[in-house]
Structure 1
Amino acid sequence: MTTRTAPAVHAGRRHLLLAGALAGPFFFASSITQALVREGFDITRHPLSLLATGDHGRLQVLTFVLAGLGALALAVGCRRVLADGIGRLAVPVLVAVFGAGLVVAGLFPMDPENGFPAGTPDGPVARMSWHSVVHSAAAAVAFTALAVAAIVLAVRCARERRVRAAVLSGVAALVLVLPMSPEFMSIQIAVNGVVAFSWTTVVALSLRAAA
């Protein structure tokens, strides 16, 4: 029985890690497509989260949820592959927090503002709704958790003398913890998303190769 189930366990790990690797490319393929076709969207003024508002907002909600589920799959894959060493427990938990945060952020969209969706008054909202507060809090927790995961993995890689991997994880963490600039916030959020999902994709593919 052991010899028959081992290949299935091996395949299960690889499938989980593949889902984690695809989460980032899927998120940005969907978001960029929507940003290009949605009337009035301007990445210099509107964070990608605003795509979850308006008549077609459900597509971005689904994008957040599916990307979050992909990150949760990565967390399970990490738990199964990282059998020992630094971060074997912390990294899967922190990546799971990131995934859960994306799901929550998708299900509780932010308020329309700054002229988007089309017809919305220009300028920020006077008072955030409760679901916008939940969205912002979930996103903050998610990206903070991923930054900590990157730091832990950087330490693990440094201990294993994998210098390039350690440096890349360290740089990713540094970018994710930089303070937000009010003037360039929407662009910075997009950059953080690129860095976060690039990191999860690289980690997923590296672990999949090792699995």
Structure 2
Amino acid sequence: MNPNCTPATRITRSLLGYGVIAGPVYVVVALAQALSREGFDLSRHAWSLLANGDFGWIQITNFIAVGLMTVAAAVGLRRALASGRGGTWGPLLIAAYGVSLVGAGVFRADPGQGFPVGAPQSPTISWHGMLHFVVGAVGFLCLIAACFVLAGRFARAGQPRLAWFSRITGVVFLAGFAAIASGSQGPTTPAFVAAVLLVWAWLTTVSVHFYRAADRKD
């Protein structure tokens, strides 16, 4: 890190730093709950269900905090990209995903599939459960679009590895989301979790890339 960087660069790097840690924070907090809360089954329960029960506030806080981190990262990305292809839409789409995470925390998913313990297998869809699904779907689609927008940016910048990583992430996440949204049984939940891990790894990688690029500019 350049100790003589400008104040503007320091702000940009600080904002991008939230993009570096957002994914790891979300995954660690969610997995810690999934492995410790009674009745939660990683093979079939969506992480959104963790927002229910006595300790549901932890996952609600996780959604909101990580959503705000993602919005901050999007602002940093906008500052880093400045202009050119993807300079506007890439950050805007990532910011929209961040807002959707905040919405997912505000609008709690309905209990179901026996979680928390005693919940029915087939939940009654409430207004907040429906809004949770809607804001989540919009956010996922925005994030998928961001992958392809930034893939184009990386390709034009002569960075084929980042371009292909972005395209593959977009395709895998789209497939995972389509599978979980279909409501089909089988390994769809673990597959979606794998897609979530990949897309967070992508955001971390992109944030690290532009963090380093901002440092080199000074």
- With the length of structure 2 as denominator, give the TM-score of the two structures: 0.90
Match of 1:47 in 2: 46
Q: Could you tell me which amino acid in structure 1 is paired with residue 145 of structure 2?
A: V
> Could you say which residue in structure 1 is the equivalent of 2:165?
168
Give the structure 2 partner of residue 86 of structure 1. 85
1:170-189 superposed matches below 5 A: 170-178=167-175, 179-181=178-180, 182-183=184-185, 184-189=187-192
Please give the residue correspondences for 1:116-155 in structure 2 after superposition, counting only pairs within 5 Å.
116-121=115-120, 123-125=121-123, 127-155=124-152
Q: Which moved more, 1:83-92 or 1:173-182?
A: 173-182
- Following superposition, the deviation at residue 141 of structure 1 comes to 0.8
Matched residue, 1:3: none
8 Å Cα contact 2:173-2:192 kept in structure 1: no
Aligned to 1:199: 202
Deviation of the 1:109 alpha carbon:
1.0
C-alpha distance in 2 between matches for 1:132 and 1:44: 21
Displacement after TM superposition at 1:192 (Å): 2.5
CA contact (8 A) 1:62 1:106 kept: yes
Aligned-partner Cα distance in 1 for 2:71–2:34:
26
Aligned to 2:22, what secondary structure does the other structure show? helix
- How many residues end up aligned between the 2 structures? 204
CA distance in 1, matches of 2:111, 2:196: 20
**Residues 4-153 of structure 1 mapped to structure 2, 5 A cutoff:** 7-121=6-120, 123-125=121-123, 127-153=124-150
Cα distance between partner residues in 2 of 1:17 and 1:106: 22
| TM-score computed with the length of structure 1 as normaliser | 0.93
Q: Offset of 1:188 from its aligned partner?
A: 3.0
- Is residue 154–residue 169 contact of structure 1 (8 Å, CA) maintained in 2? yes
Contact 1:50-1:116 within 8 A present in 2 as well = yes
Question: Is contact 1:64-1:106 (8 Å) kept?
Answer: yes
Percent identity (aligned) = 38
**Closer, same or farther in 2 for the Cα pair 1:185/1:133, shift >3 Å?**
farther
Distance 1:201 1:95 in 2: 12
Q: Secondary structure at the match of 2:42?
A: coil
Aligned residue identity for 2:78: R
Give the CA RMSD over aligned residues.
1.2
